[in-house]
Amino acid sequence: MNLHVIQTGYFKLDGGAMFGVVPKSIWQRTNPADDNNLCSWAMRCLLVEDGNRLVLIDTGVGDKQSEKFFSYYYLHGEESLMSSLKKAGFGPEEVTDVILTHLHFDHCRGAVKRIGEEKYTPAFPNARYWSNADHWNWAENPNPRERASFLQENFKPLESNDQLKFLNPGQESPFNKISVLYMDGHTEKQMLPKIQYKGRTLVFAADLIPSVGHIPLAYVMGYDVRPLITMKEKDEFLKEAARNNYILYFEHDPVNECCTVKETERGIRVHETFPLKDLI
């Protein structure tokens, strides 16, 4: 098995929204904001090369929305989904599976490409796209809080092209060394891939723990639909991660790709941060 970091660029979000009730005087120590109170965040995906399967986890923000839409998020950086895949030595037609942790636009928009006015098609023509039934139904019928994040053109074409597959809780994983953890705090049934790699366990933390700065228990995003559930899920997961020396892989941390955690008198905290290449 080989793992490849797939950088898809950066965007900006309000720091207060990203850290919820935590005061700016505290969170800005790890994530400094600009004059508009916006912080930069990565959209870091992961490519898993395992035998005859090439599995992409999340797809970033893509490029098919309007200039006005993108202006709200200040996209920046030189890298894109397709350029990073090419750098890793692969083309879109070689991807066999795409695991979408959830269907918020910054995680799934690159899954679909525009082919004409109001016409869309899957960006990976030979891939199976994996979600789960509960989350898919949640995204198809969005609540007012998440409606702006669930854009139907980002995921409905997967269904109409018969490339959509569901991996539901309790179901056996179709992958050899990838299982899935399900989390309900950020959104309904967010999927966190758990990868067995070189005798270690690596967890793609997605939006349960977007960055190193979100490891303390109370650091919960204002975007989460069930923040108290997030805190419970984080508490249980981080204790397990500390006991078993899990590697956390961060999708949104603008600096740190991976870390391990440890138990301290103040709760679970960062132990070591490092790039993924240090494991390879």
Lowest mean pLDDT among 68-82, 90-104, 163-177, 240-254: 68-82
Helix/strand/coil for 208 = coil
Question: In which element (H, E) is residue 244 found?
Answer: helix 227-244
DSSP code for 246: P
Number of domains in the chain: 1
Structure tokens at 135: 């989350």
Contacts 24+ apart (CB under 8 A), 111-116: 111/59, 111/62, 111/154, 111/155, 111/158, 112/62, 112/64, 112/153, 112/154, 112/155, 112/157, 112/158, 113/62, 113/64, 114/64
Helix/strand/coil for 33 = coil
Please give the residue range of the domain that contains residue 271. Answer: 2-279
The rounded mean pLDDT for the chain is 94
Give the pLDDT band of residue 116 (cuts 50, 70, 90): confident
Q: What is the pLDDT of residues 16-74, one digit of tens each?
A: 999 999 999 999 998 999 999 999 999 999 999 998 999 999 999 887 666 777 777 88
In the sheet with 164-166, reading across from the earlier edge strand, the strands are 2-14, 38-50, 53-57, 97-99, 128-131, 164-166
Q: What is the pLDDT of residue 100?
A: 98
Q: What is the CATH number of the domain that holds 180?
A: 3.60.15.10
DSSP code for 150: -
CA separation (Å) from 115 to 64, 71, 124, 240? Answer: 10, 22, 13, 45
Nearest in space to 219 (alpha carbons), one of 69, 28, 42: 28
Q: What is the pLDDT of residues 146-182, one digit of tens each?
A: 998 999 889 999 987 789 999 999 999 999 999 999 9
Query: What number is the average pLDDT over the span 127-149?
Result: 95
